[in-house]
Amino acid sequence: MGEAASRARVAVTGSTGHLGRLVARLLADDGVPQRLLVRSPERAPDLPGAEVFQAAYGDRDAVARALDGVEVVLFVSATESADRTDQHERFTEAAVRAGVRHVVYTSFQGAAPDASFTLARDHAATEEILRLSGMAWTFLRDCLYLDVLPAWIGDDGVLRGPAGDGAVAAVARADVARSAAAVLTDVLADPGTHGGRAYELTGREAITLDDVARTVHEVTGRPARYHAETLREAYASRAVYGAPRWQVDAWVSTYTAIAEGALRHVSGDVERLTGREPMTLRDVLQAT
């Protein structure tokens, strides 16, 4: 074990992905030694004070070795899959075995067993696993990412989905990363901080998909408009991808959750945690 790992009290999972990489870089910029848990070490970011461990979520032994001696873990939820909750349970068991004291988990706004957005049910199940684990926990329930919404616009310039005229308080990945880094550093400084807390990470405003299309067009010049599909149209337009039914249900339920207002609540938690007002979609587009 290298010097960085021997001094590391915090671990970050998913650092080859968008969010984990952002958090790891923020911690490195603050001089925090850390361990990066990844499936593909060759893709891990090269950061000062960081040591890379190869450990897939489902590999209990590898995770336990990687977390040995670590106090606090940022647990970035696994890639969407039919067995994601099982992966999360195995990771949690390994963290307990390793002696981890506090887990900060990236959940989802409105996580509940009966959530309209089907993937939010996975997050609710994982939250319950963590509550029963005996470790201290903090849940970061982020809304949909502002960064992703423009990608919903097809090559024909149409954003299609059964969202009606519903609005979503989408949040920038950068704001979620800053919030996560703030929580981690707070917990390292004061172990009693943030335990048993769930934070709702949203943008500063709720926007409709009409707003998304209009803003993308205004900022980028790219043709964009929103078409409110029916449920029948939504399933038909996504059938061409040949995805399994659970995944198509997840895609479609993203929009139906917006339609029913499940994702429109605006929270002030990003600003409370970071001291900065959340970014808007225009901010995100102008920063890329």
Mean pLDDT by 10 residues, the chain (288 residues): 61 96 98 96 95 96 97 95 95 98 98 96 98 98 98 97 98 98 97 96 98 98 97 95 95 97 97 98 96
Host H or E run for residue 139: strand 136-142
Contact assessment for residue 65 and residue 51, using Cβ atoms and an 8 Å cutoff: no
Measured distance CA(211)–CA(96) in Å, rounded? 44
pLDDT value of residue 41 = 94
Tell me, what's the pLDDT at 7? 74
DSSP string, 44-83: S---TTEEEEE--TT-HHHHHHHHTT--EEEEPPPPS-TT
Alpha helices in 104-208 (DSSP H): 119-131, 173-189
The dihedral built from the CA positions of residue 272, 270, 32 and 284, taken in this order, carries a sign that is negative
For the record, the structure tokens of 267 come out as: 């929270």
Are 199 and 128 a contacting pair, CB within 8 Å?
A: no
Q: What is the pLDDT of residue 125?
A: 97
For residue 243, give every residue at least 6 positions away whose Cβ sits within 8 Å of its Cβ, in sequence order, or none: 251
Q: Which SS3 state, helix, strand or coil, does residue 26 take? A: helix
Alpha helices (runs of H) in the chain, residue ranges in sequence order: 3-7, 18-29, 60-67, 84-98, 119-131, 173-189, 209-220, 231-238, 245-259, 269-274, 281-287
pLDDT given at position 3 = 41
Q: What is the pLDDT of residue 5?
A: 42
pLDDT number for residue 6: 52
Secondary structure of residue 206 in the 3-state scheme: coil
Predicted pLDDT of residue 1: 38
- Residue among 228, 113, 240 at smallest CA distance from 167: 228
Q: How far is Cα 21 from Cα 52, in angstroms, rounded to an integer?
A: 12
Closest CA to 263 of 113, 104, 114, 116: 116
Specify burial of residue 240 (Cβ count, 10 A radius: 0-12, 13-18, 19+): exposed
Q: How many CB atoms are located within 10 Å of the residue 157 CB?
A: 13
Name the DSSP class of 235. Answer: H
Residue 251: CB partners within 8 Å, gap ≥ 6? 238, 243
In the Cβ-directed half-sphere of 90, how many Cα atoms lie within 13 Å?
A: 14
Tally of CB atoms within 10 A around 114: 7
